[in-house]
Each structure stands twice: as structure tokens, then as C-alpha cells.
């Protein structure tokens, strides 16, 4: 029991980041391939844990878990938005390069 109490902040951060990224993936990735969903979940989990460990407060592990959850949701959402924007950006860049080569 002492071992669990020593690492309660890590438990809350891990659970918060996992639940946050799962929630964002469930909302944004309906009907998408499982690989895309797993990438969103893993990147959301990474973002959530990174933010929570950066702003970690050992006296308030619940706050760290909440920060991890919000970071997980934000990370998964940001990845989804970037993945939707990339094809348009790449198309514009390629168009400009091709147009400049033609002229």
C-alpha cells in the first residue's frame, strides 16, 4: 500500500492521459481505420503525460491527473486537425513549386 501511495501522482497522470486521449479519439475518429485511431490515442497520451509531468505538483496529484486528461484530449485533437490540414498544405506547396518550374 505504501508503494502505491508513493506513486499516486504517476497513476493519476497515466490514467488521466489515457482517458483523455481515448475520449478524444472516440469523438473525432468515428468510422476511421484502427491504425489512425491508435496513432491519435498514443500521441494524445504522450502529449498528456508530457504536459502533466512538466507541470506536476506532488501535493496535488488530482490536479496533475486533470492536467494530463486535458493534455491528452488536446494532443489527440491537435493531431487530428493537423492530419486534416496536411493534404491541402502539401497540395499548395507542390502547386507553387510546379508553377515556378514551368515559368
CA 16 to chain centre: 12
pLDDT at 97 exceeding the cut of 80: yes
Buried b (16+ CB within 10 A) or exposed e, 6-20: eeebbebbbebbbbb
pTM: predicted TM-score of the whole model, two decimal places: 0.70
Number of other CB atoms surrounding residue 51 within 10 Å: 20
Exposed/middle/buried for residue 68 (C-beta within 10 Å: 0-12, 13-18, 19+)? buried
C-alpha 28/C-alpha 7 separation (Å) is 32
Q: Which residues contact 47 (CB under 8 A, 6 or more apart)?
A: 17, 21, 71, 72, 74, 75, 76, 78
Per residue in 35-94, pLDDT (tens digit) is 878 888 888 888 888 888 888 777 777 788 888 888 888 887 877 777 778 888 888 888
Per residue in 70-87, pLDDT (tens digit) is 888 888 787 777 777 888
Amino acid at each position: 500500500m505504501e508503494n502505491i501511495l508513493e506513486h499516486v501522482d504517476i497513476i493519476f497522470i497515466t490514467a488521466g492521459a489515457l482517458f483523455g486521449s481515448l475520449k478524444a479519439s472516440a469523438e473525432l475518429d468515428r468510422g476511421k481505420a484502427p491504425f489512425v485511431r491508435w496513432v491519435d490515442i498514443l500521441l494524445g497520451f504522450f502529449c498528456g503525460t508530457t504536459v502533466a509531468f512538466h507541470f506536476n505538483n506532488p501535493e496535488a496529484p488530482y490536479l496533475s491527473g486533470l492536467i494530463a486528461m486535458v493534455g491528452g484530449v488536446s494532443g489527440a485533437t491537435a493531431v487530428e486537425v493537423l492530419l486534416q490540414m496536411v493534404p491541402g498544405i502539401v497540395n499548395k506547396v507542390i502547386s507553387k513549386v510546379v508553377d515556378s518550374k514551368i515559368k
